[in-house]
Amino acid sequence: MSQHPSQLESLVLGTILAHPESGVLAVRVFGAYWDDAWTDVGRRGVALAIRDLVIAGKLPDALTVQSRADDDSEETIRELAAFSEAPNVLLQRTAQLRDVTLSRVLADLLRRSAARIEAGQAESPELEATAVTSRCAAIASAGVTETHVGDIITLIETQYDAIKSGNHMTGIPTGIPLVDQNLMGLPYGKMVLLAARPSHGKTSLACNIIELCLRLRDPQPVVFFSFDDDAELALSRLACIHSGVSWSHAQTARLNAATEKRYREALTWVRQAPIKLYCDRSLSPMQCRALLQSTMTTEFAGKRPLVVVDFLQKQAINVETVKDGDMRNKALVASGTWKDTIELCQVPGLVLAQLNRDGSGREPELRHLKESGNLEEDAYAALLLWREGRDDPSAPANKLRVHLAKNKGGPTCRDWLHFTGYSFRYRPWDDASDRDATEDEQRALERRDLTTQVGAGQMDLDDTETF
């Protein structure tokens, strides 16, 4: 159902005031025509205050907007509160209002041009027509992002020169040797899927990649959207990966003095690291886009962060544009939105996805990803994980197989990582020193390591059950 223009204006402004993190997106969609959208003096004053706050890198919440707008804005803001909608429909409303605005601007342009010609004020009908045509073209292209050929060619040349000089990493490193060699790191502006069946290590591996980024000589900022772990679990997991400390012992404060010192140092390191964490399970993909854009304007000194989403299907329940219960299509909508967000912001994106349980007991394939919502189509690359010991008690549990099953930029490959369960730590598999271990054998090996981390009499039989 079409909305009256004044109602569209109120819906857009009311939603921004209720969900100020979405203001960046709305202002960007309008571009140069934001000021032309508002037909009421009160709404226009509020809209201009929102625009100024967004440009200044501040969130346009109701109180801040009121302090920025004129003295009469309080009543307008109070009226707009009744028009607030769910933030995930803001993009649609904004696009509708932009189209209405552009139609009005175009009609006014033609009306004024015709009046000048009729009044004899135009230099000539031909010159007037040329000026109007040029202005119409500008209006028609509003909101369309130009692809700058020269910029892309410069990027291709830069990547070529980097590879020629021996620097094969044009993206963000993962710490997985063959994957980094073939994918050249997580690429900017591209979505990479990290997929596995439940309990096969996708969150742990993602946290290892985050930890690697944060400890680079020039730390790589990270924005982490976690819809699976809460904030405490996510950050304590990072600290244990960084320090090599047993997560269960850290949670129960059963560390000896030396290990506790190492763990506290890791917590301090995480506190100081350039990471932004969002663990609100109610966030929609569009809200996340607005938060990411806002974060990029206010944090990290302009450096583009690695974006990690854990995991897609858990966020998909917040997609309101698809009927309830249709989780396959909800996941597809969420995937498409994240792909667009990563391209729009030109950030490296690692999006986790859960494979369905069909095919348990064997290595996952791309078709399993398609059966989980056809998510593979949106991905530039796809990493499929399999820890065989999770399916078969007689198979190795300390060995993770990473399959780069899709790579639009180069060849595919398989690589193997060693997994230390008590600290969620991965490292490249070393054939010279590592050996396969079943889950029971791994517990025995790790139990010997853990005796050096705890105080006397503080080791329990179940201490290595965390992996």
**Residue 389, Cβ density class (10 Å: 0-12 exposed, 13-18 middle, ≥19 buried):** buried
At residue 429 the predicted structure's pLDDT band, cuts being 50, 70 and 90, is very high
Task: Tell which CATH classification among 3.90.1150.10, 2.60.40.10, 3.40.50.2300, 3.40.50.300 matches the domain 171-450.
Answer: 3.40.50.300
- Alpha-carbon dihedral of residues 41, 46, 49, 51, nearest 10 degrees? -100
Eight-class DSSP state of 21: G
CA atoms of 419 and 432, how far apart (whole Å) = 16
Residue 376's identity, in one-letter code, is E
Query: Higher model confidence: residue 344 or residue 224?
Result: 224
Query: Higher model confidence: residue 177 or residue 358?
Result: 177
Other beta carbons less than 10 A from residue 358's beta carbon:
11
Structure tokens at 291: 């938060």
Structure tokens at 68: 């920025």
Structure tokens at 326: 């249709």
Could you read off the pLDDT of 296-352 as tens digits, one per residue?
878 887 789 999 999 888 876 655 544 555 666 677 778 888 998 998 888 999 999
- Alpha-carbon dihedral of residues 98, 99, 100, 101, nearest 10 degrees? 50
Helix (H) or strand (E) holding 60: none
Compute the half-sphere exposure of residue 409: CA atoms within 13 Å on the CB side of its CA: 25
Do 272 and 325 touch, CB atoms closer than 8 A?
no
CA atoms of 84 and 15, how far apart (whole Å) = 4
Q: What is the pLDDT of residue 101?
A: 87
Do 80 and 17 touch, CB atoms closer than 8 A?
yes
Q: What is the pLDDT of residue 386?
A: 95
- Per-residue pLDDT at 416 exceeds 60: yes
Quick one: what percent of the chain has pLDDT higher than 70?
87
Could you read off the pLDDT of 137-188 as tens digits, one per residue?
766 665 555 555 776 677 677 767 767 776 667 899 999 999 999 999 999 9
Could you read off the pLDDT of 272-296 as tens digits, one per residue?
999 999 998 888 888 888 888 888 8
- Per-residue pLDDT at 84 exceeds 70: yes
At residue 45 the predicted structure's pLDDT band, cuts being 50, 70 and 90, is very high
- The reply to whether the predicted model has a pTM over 0.75 is no
Lowest mean pLDDT among 188-202, 333-347, 421-435: 333-347
Q: Write down the domain spans for the chain.
A: 5-140, 171-450
Structure tokens at 335: 């995937």
**Is 1.10.860.10 the CATH number for 5-140?**
yes
What mean pLDDT value characterizes the chain? Answer: 84
